[in-house]
Amino acid sequence: MSGQPVALITGAARRIGAAIAETLHTEGYRVVVHCRRSRQHADALAARLNALRDQSAHVVGGDLLEFEQPERLVQQTLHAFGRLDLLVNNASSFYPTAVGNTTREQWNELVGSNFAAPYFLVQAALPALRDARGVIINLLDIHAERPMPGHAVYSAAKAGLHMLTRALAKELAPDVRVNGVAPGAILWPESGSSDADRKKIIAETPMGRTGTPEDIANAVLFLVNSSFITGQIIAVDGGRSL
């Protein structure tokens, strides 16, 4: 296959996803920026990247919970750039669910975005990734192994993705490598995070501070470039999971 490699990053319009897209673009990737609701941010990011290197970024929108969306997203990527070398499953829903009051809608959204959508995206992308001898990076969470109080469904969904990462690494080798990055405190949630919660989390972090989106993007890049690493999950959490 010829040409610059192509990365599809879900949930890439803002925050960590955007940092991953920018880092990969700097390293020579053409990037497909997926968004659900943040189309304005996604378009602005793509415009900025295309100004640096013409026709190097493309935006695709869609709700990954819709049955046909994973296949459609991969087809749009191949139509735009003709290949797919890297899938970064970053899109995620996050909010508390009290046991006893969790709705089916909340269950479907949290499990769907954090576990089911990555699986079906992998399934849709697999032929192209095999052709490219490509890479899959799943964005996990340290709470896949250390459940967060009040977030049972979210924690369980990320735990499922944790095991899926390892299972796929065995099943897809040697053609496709599969790894994960598990952030700790990087960016605070956009709602539902009190000053007391934040101080407690910092106090539990040996590095005594939050990380940055670029810390996550650099870990993704490391795993992409490490051709003999598969089935591994790197915690980028300032030591909080110790």
**Active-site residue flag, 119:** no
Nearest Cα residue to 17 out of 64, 52, 54: 64
Distance CA 5, CA 25 (A): 10
Encoding tokens for residue 216?
């996550």
Please, which residues have CB within 8 angstroms of residue 142's CB and are 6 or more apart in sequence?
Answer: 182, 183, 184, 235, 237, 240, 241
What dihedral do alpha carbons 45, 48, 49, 51 form, nearest 10°?
A: 160
Sign of CA dihedral 65, 125, 17, 204: positive
Q: Which residues partner with 33 through β-bridges? A: 9, 59
Q: Judging by beta carbons within 10 Å of its beta carbon (0-12, 13-18, 19+), is residue 236 exposed, middle or buried?
A: buried
CB 134 within 8 A of CB 87: yes
Catalytic residue among 29, 95, 119, 154: 154
- Residues forming the active site: 154
